[in-house]
Structure 1
Amino acid sequence: MSTKHFLRGMATVNYFADNVVAARDWYSELFGVEAYFQMPSRDNPAYIEFRVGDDADEFGIIDRKYAPEGMQKAPGGAILLWHVDDIETAFARLKALGATEYDPITKRGETGFVTASVVDPFGNVLGIMYNPHYVELHGA
């Protein structure tokens, strides 16, 4: 019996932007780090990557002209929720940086899970979550 899961972990999350430089600068401010990869160049990137979080997860931004043909322009679809230690502070910071509320801070039952999401200035949904299981696995 194999101990490997079919889906072994998030490898990359990709967001799209009409202005990759503006998106890079906005996310650099949010993350507190610079993009480590920019292709074809820093001055005219079509794709950039950040490493963020406890597991150095890969966060990419792609020029919207390379989006799949059927992709909708409006926010929607799956929402990747990033763990945050203080959801109220994180939500307020995202909005202060120009994101707009997509889903308000919502307590999910009585088990400690709390979620929220915003739309970044480039039309992408960014989800945040306080997740007790994450804290259990990664520590405080």
Structure 2
Amino acid sequence: MLGLRTTIYKVGDIEKAKEWYTKAFDTKQYFDEPFYVGFNIGGYELGLLPEENVAKEKTDSVLSYWGVEDINETYEKLIKLGAVEHEKPTNVGGELMVTSVKDPWNNIIGIIYNPHFKIESLTDLKK
């Protein structure tokens, strides 16, 4: 295993979702087709797929957490953009904080503040 590469969110309206995620993650898509929209978020892929049969409820059995510098600021920003609370910002030990919201298409977006996490290069992993 080489580590996480892509998180994909299925959305009922890919054009509106593209606009929403551009604002939420402060970045523009690098790949933009009707069948897939891709964003590069700190070297990781955030993908949007059109959802033909829109699901009212989506599972939260798997959560991906996007790293942030200020969890409360990011949480408030996403709420102001139209996300709804899934889990309040919570201290999970030491300085580690997590929270999650649901985007306008009911996808869960996890957010984490972890000052100890360091991305290792493939060279570091092979040592």
Query: Structure 1 length normalisation: TM-score?
Result: 0.78
Partner amino acid, structure 1, of 2:39: F
Matches for 1:15-94 after TM superposition, within 5 Å: 15-39=9-33, 45-53=34-42, 56-65=43-52, 73-75=56-58, 76-94=60-78
**Counterpart amino acid of residue 52 in structure 1:** I
By how many angstroms is 1:104 displaced?
0.5
Identity of aligned residues (%): 32
| Unaligned stretches of 5+ residues in structure 1 | 1-6, 40-44
Report which of the two structures shows the higher radius of gyration computed on alpha carbons.
Answer: 1
CA RMSD of aligned residues (A): 1.7
Q: Could you say which structure has the higher strand fraction?
A: 2
How far residue 35 of structure 1 moved from its aligned partner, in angstroms, is 0.9
Structure 2 match to 1:115: 98
The normalised TM-score by structure 2 is 0.85
Aligned partner of 2:79 in structure 1 is 95
**Structure 2: how far apart are the matches of 1:133 and 1:8?**
20
Cα offset for 1:132?
A: 2.3
Moved over 2 A (4+): none
The count of corresponding residues between Structure 1 and Structure 2 is: 118
Q: Report the alpha carbon displacement of residue 77 of structure 1 after superposing the two structures with TM.
A: 2.2
- 2:113 counterpart residue number: 130
Query: What is the rounded CA distance, in whole Å, between the counterparts of 2:108 and 2:98 in structure 1?
Result: 13
Which runs of no fewer than 5 residues in structure 2 stay unpaired? Answer: 120-127
